[in-house]
Amino acid sequence: MPAVLAILVATTALAAESTTLTGKVVSVHDGDTLRVVDGTGGNHAVRLQGIDAPETSQPFGTKSRNRLAALAMGKRATVAVTGTDRYGRLLV
């Protein structure tokens, strides 16, 4: 139980203190999740909030992923992190 409490406290603290992350988009998982590598080599899974993109196995899922990849892949990104989700992805 203490570990769960620590995770909740850490998540709440991160949500209260918005941080900025800058790096390069190195992969796109689906239409709302990508991976950014920062200047120190930190590898971050990033979830775009407010987007309910289909999973790649669902209709239009591959098209959704490909469109996000066309927009973001290989580009420099600066994201304002507002918290983390239950999978540990950064929320932006």
User: Which is the catalytic residue, given 67, 76, 86, 89?
Assistant: 89
Annotated catalytic residue 47: yes
CA dihedral (91, 41, 30, 88) positive or negative: negative
- Among 84, 63, 77, which Cα is nearest to 34's? 77
User: Which is the catalytic residue, given 55, 65, 67, 86?
Assistant: 55
Annotated catalytic residue 89: yes
User: Which is the catalytic residue, given 35, 47, 67, 76?
Assistant: 47
Alpha-carbon distances, residue 40 vs 8, 57, 58, 72, 90 (angstroms): 26, 33, 35, 20, 17
- What is the set of active-site residues? 47, 55, 89
